[in-house]
Structure 1
Amino acid sequence: MKQAMIRTLAALILVLPLLATAQSDGQPIDRIVALVEEDVILQSELDQAIDAISQQVRARGENLPPRSVLEEQVLERLIMQRLQVLRAEQTGIRVSDADVDNALNRVAQQNNLPLAQLRRVLESDGIDFEEFRRDIRHEIMTSRLQQRVVNSMDPISGTEIDILLASDQFSSEEYLLSQIVVSVPESASPEQVQEAQSRVEEIYRRLDEGMAFSAAAISYSQGPDALEGGDVGWRNASALPRVFAEAIQGLGPGEVTEPLRTPAGFVILKVRDVRERSEVMVEEYRARHLMISPSELISPEEAREQIQNLRRRIQQGEDFAELAREYSSEQSTANLGGLLEWFPAGGYGPDIQEAVDSLEPGELSEPFRSPRGWHLVKLLDVRQTDRTEEIRRSEAREMLSQQKSQEELDRFMRQLRNESFVEIRL
């Protein structure tokens, strides 16, 4: 009780200057809607977040739930964001101004705008640029915190991959899923479990009566993707917990599972689409390569002349491999006569790939330049290779990694929420 009182007083001290300013300017007081550790969330922050989410929901052509429901959902997201930022700060995660600038430049590039124009666009929409910078900084901090959590896990072993591939869990089908989550606290009482079960059964009843799944997710789901209509994205059945994989097996687009019990609560899944993974055939190339790099002893012009001379000698019948051993600056392949053993497209970079793509087997390229020097390439052969098994192992590793990462992040989020002081005043 004493600790909670100290936190409350600290939070009030933080917000008093703001309240005093609002009163002196004759503006309405910006009330506190939640205390989060020693920090606060204000009504204005909640309103701004609700406006942003509302625009996204309308853009997807979906109906908004009642304001009170949306407030509850958005406030919980703000609380979790704030808790993650606070934990990141406590554990020494820092984000430099240069990191923020780089992120802002990427945002500007993605929108095909110069950074200065991005700022004008944001401000014309009523978004304070410094607040936008702060939000970007917090997103980077949160991302680094989550990455730290994931990195703390044990790596996926080859044995785990073999077991998955040998089991009937590794499916060739992929599902586009949405979910509705009703959480149950860790160490929940039987009453809390029963309350959650009643809630998920009521949601399931409303879905059965025709309520849109995305609208139900926005209104009722406690998952991190609730405000996106519960969109999970494409998932291979093998990457899902067994209870989920078994529940969706045989379901077609538009079908919904019954409520599923999980360690974290209850989940309803919707299958939005299904697709089959196909055989993976990859084009591979075998070639020889020779490079002359400018140096203190060879000027760029001399390197160009030397590569042209070597091309003439090869055309006149001299052996490419012998010339590569004698003259090539590419030490990793010179002793092999410049041999580039079977490699996939782009395996040796875009410059060599562009030259290879212009050749038929047996043909010699024209000299071409890259930042490293002047090059010759002779294409020896092309083949189609079945990479299905290699891709399957890679996918199995990725599936196991995603599954374990998501489970660890879910566990971390629940623990963070349960351990933290949060007082909702909505």
Structure 2
Amino acid sequence: MQLKTSTLTSFLPRLARCAAPLVFSITLTVGAGLVPLAASAQSLFAPAITVNDDVITRYELEQRAQFLRLLRAPGNPVDLAREALIEDRLKQQAISQTEITLTPENIKAGIAEFASRTDLEPDDFVKALEQGGVSYESFRDFVTVSLAWREYVRQRFLSRANPTKDEVARAMATDDGGSTVSVLLNEIIVPITPQTLDQVEQLTEELSNIRGFDAFAEAARQYSASESRQSGGRIPWMALSDLPVALRPVIMGLRPGEVTAPIPLSNAVALFQMREVRETGRVKPGYSKISYAKYHIPGGRSAEGLTQAAQIAARVDTCDDLYGIAKDQPAEVLERLDQSPGEIPSDIALELAKLDEGEISTTLTRSDGQTLLFLMLCGRTAESKAGATAEDIANMLVQERLEAFATNYLDQLRGNAVIVSR
């Protein structure tokens, strides 16, 4: 059976800051990885886990696991589903003690919010999930818990999270000094199409078992589509803060020589090997906006597509030069964007992290590998506390504190819960 894929071009949106776990990259694969429902209806809806006497059925576990498979979340989908549903029950039990209710309009808006960073409209997103074996009701329940928990956290902790004027003033005056972590990595980026899905998954699983630097470098030269393949996948020193947020704990969990599990990107799968970690003397400034250009080249990573990319690269020095290249072509051929780091699709964010202003990447593709993405970094706007208002700083402190309160409270609920797997 030929696989049909739709690409969701961003991280899992944060319906609530403490809601569903972050997913590094989302690729919705319709028709792939479905779980056969061979069990009888009776066993399917039998209790699999109880959380303080609230039941999680085997059907719910299968639905959430399949949802995570479709999103291509890194990790074991069954284990991730189990943990997520246990947390959902704990959240629901806490919410049930309040008068928080959601209207159908609230839930509809939440679904739209979830789908807002994808290439699909909300209705199309829901249809794609249903084609992949996840019911609308299961997705709706996921969204409902996330939205209600966000409101619960706001109501319970907002008064304690609000900073005083003195705290805001101190935050605005705080020096950026301190320490930060930089990492030295090797990478392998393997392109993937519907036709090569099974082969790439098998290959990257095998490559994830590599431990030697020489073996990884040889594999990078043989299989990687990244420009770094010529140097055995070596990436220069990179601040951990430059990496996409969801990738940072994965990278920091590695010891030198170890390799990540396969990480899905849009139309590719990535592997990273840790070479070295160091702590520098100062925090690298964060960025409020990143400006970049995307020029779409037909043919994907074919010889013709790569040749055209090389010809364009030889003719441009800045992003402005791309307007001349795209003259008289359809408007969608060239996109220039100014986005905050959290708005940038994960695979693009990873490539941009490797680039300096005016540099180019031709690693990525779109349209199931049929379009080569000519990616150029136009510039970065550094965050500046000097330009931030007291209200900006106060809102930042509130969000940080709400996240900390919610995480600690959920840990308390779990510690006091009676959880039984059947």
The TM tier, using the shorter chain, reads: 0.3 to 0.5
> What is the TM-score normalised by the length of structure 2?
0.41
Give the number of the structure whose alpha-carbon radius of gyration is greater: 1
**Higher helix share goes to which structure?**
1
> What is the TM-score normalised by the length of structure 1?
0.41
Higher RCO (CA 8 Å, separation ≥ 6 residues):
2
